[in-house]
A and B are shown apart, each in its own frame.
Chain A
Amino acid sequence: MGKSLFEKVWDAHTVRTLSNGQTQLLIGTHLLHEVTSPQAFGMLRDLDLKVAYPHRTFATVDHIVPTDSRVEPFADPLADAMINELRKNCAETGVTFFDMNTGKQGIVHVVGPEQGITQPGTTIACGDSHTSTHGAFGAIAFGIGTTQIRDLLATQTMALTQLKVRKVEVNGSLRPGVYAKDVILHIIRKLGVNGGTGFAYEYAGEVFENFSMEERMTVCNMSIEGGARVGYINPDEKTFEYLKGRPYSPKGEEWEAAVENWKSFASDPDCEYDDVVVIDAADIAPTVTWGINPAQAITIEESIPTVDSVKESEKAITAEALEYMKLEGGAPIKGTKVDVCFVGSCTNGRLSDFEEVAKYLKGHKVAPGVKAIAVPGSQIVDAICKEKGIDAIYREAGFEWREAGCSMCLAMNPDKLIGDQLSASSSNRNFKGRQGSPTGRTVLMSPVMVAAAAIRGEISDSREVFDIRETANA
């Protein structure tokens, strides 16, 4: 019987079985950022341990960087201390650091793929739950805590329990105006916010085969929002095409050998999955969240659920969400007034996200009273957008074009909601207080839907705002 990609990668990286029954797994690629790593370096110093494989750890700074001015020292002394701590830790241990002066800084999950560090058939870990993003390349990528960062720095391995594998198949073609973000919000809505606990999700079927690498990253990125620590897509020609010529991709004769090796990791056609879910692409519409977790989502055409309409086990959380969001059950979500619009994050902060929005933004203006910001996922995304004049289209429409970072996805920098502002956001979490104000409200959606909300000043159907129609032969 064949094996899944997850099993093949797991087997190739297994060191041994530990006394508690877990596997000691080699993690070939370790990514670091400034928020979850300083304590790990501190623990290493306390234990007098060295970084075992410094050439396999790569760092950047993303969460705390201001996106308006990068002049140092930063206005926030705590943020300034954090970037300098990371600089010091990398310099002392020989870890590669994509600092702001390299032109390669950005959100760690944008930088890894962009540099060609993220490769098929590898294991990747980072002290960040959205590490699942890298699974888009057929890597097995884990979000980890700080003590595990220490373990990785000291040994390049960590203790893990093997996951089961659920194949999530989405077949058919997406309707016009439906994006990767809608696909993953739909999956989370269907399978639940904890439906993936204990599983790795293998995304398969025509929709993912047809997706670009960046669309695949958007889907894998939010696996954890459905409880799945790992999400991946089997590598194919698109994967190899994306990686060819990137700074850390294999070169010359090593390239051919690497591609052959990468192909061998794809799931075998006869492998058995622990579970299979099949979804029809035609059932997916532009999707938005209405509540306080990413599974509390509806299509733009639906009404917000009432407490009475949901099953018993969801009544309490539905009531809690409606109260927090100040929304009325039974009312349409369309037409809800927005205060802030955010395009960016490790979910939707890549070149194609900004390009797609720019296609529709031309000739439109952000509604009066709405604050709209666009934050590129990396300095490279920023540079390409500027080269192509994309930033100008955003500015002309009334968006602020910022510098690269995580920004308003979790508001660890100065970009925050104020009071109970409602934000239309292309990010990944709508938890209470997520965007920096303890009473701030977040509605997750695709970047094009964010642009539609910005223009109308209320949550809108982007297909109506931008006249995106079903083609005659669709």
Chain B
Amino acid sequence: MKVAYWPGCVSRGFTPELHGSMAAVAPLLDIELVELDRACCTGAGVIAEHSQELADTLNARTFALAQAVQDADLMMNICSTCQGAQSESQERLDANSDYRTHVNGTLAGEGLSYEKGLTNKNFLWLLVEEIGLENLKAKVKRPLTNLKVGPFYGCYIVRPTDRLGIDDEHPRDHYLHWVIEALGGTVIDYAGIHKCCGFPIITMNKDASLTQAGRHLSDAQDAEADCLVVPCPLCHLNLDLQQPLAKKAVGRDDLSMPVLHLPQLVGLALGLEPKQLGMSKHVVKPTAVIDWSSAVVGAPAPA
């Protein structure tokens, strides 16, 4: 399938391994990525905090660019925070035609216009709803047997449920669990699964922010997870890049929890090598912590 692909800022900035691993995994899943390289930041909730209209207009521009991609099935992102910020703007734009007309008026100078009803899915949703778990399972070359994975969703992709289309038919707050299982891994249940990584307040209340990250890492480690998997690069910053400080914040010297981006976990099961997926770029190197010989059985099966 062909998707208008919004990679976000951080996946091309401080977590380049996310963008890189997505690009490596896409062809294996028959996803053609048309990168929206003309679009700007979603505002991550901060621009909306400053001015809703500004955030909505910037996002409407991105939506319009996505709708201009020929034959694209939908728009896809790889960042929970982008999904949340875009869904918030889209909710307002779709709910009120006067508002939409007004915002489109601002975009008119560039010849762009957003038409109600864009489908915008995080890679996680796309995996389950478009590619399908059975299809995904069939593509697995190296099942993640014995790998104990703690899902960490990030707030923006699970709340508010009505805005994000989470209901009985679309239990999107369960999808990470399902994907881990489809890849052959074992889901680890721990307290932090649907909690906040603390990133948004890292500059405002650093102690509280790092304590949040430290607690979730500790809970996962105490539940004997080998690693966490996140669909959000901002969670990754607080859980991985800041892990040495988070350890101190909760007084846990023994903490050492690798945090994988979702495309990395998928890529691993589809037979790619850790290095190809940029796993050596993490602060907590997954290769240093996970015993790959027992956790991920052998080399990938021959094609």
| A-B complex is real | no
